[in-house]
Amino acid sequence: SLGGDPGRIRVVIYEVSADSWGIGGEPVSSRPPIP
């Protein structure tokens, strides 16, 4: 997945998990809000 800052570790982990399932893209609405 592309996009998001390196500081957003949880989002990065979520994207990696999503990509590993072959989703390839993550809807913003499903992402946890990270300040």
Average pLDDT on 2-6 reads 55
pTM: 0.18
Phi-psi region of 27 (alpha: psi -120 to 50; beta: other; left: phi over 0): beta
Its domain, for residue 3, covers 1-35
**What pLDDT was estimated at residue 7?**
58
d(CA 21, CA 7) in angstroms, rounded, equals 23
CB count within 10 Å of CB 21 equals 8
If residue 13 lies in a helix (H) or strand (E), which one and from where to where? Answer: helix 9-20
More confident residue, 22 or 9: 9
pLDDT band per the 50, 70, 90 thresholds, residue 16 = low
Domain count for the chain: 1
pLDDT, one tens digit per residue, over 17-34 is 555 544 445 555 555 655
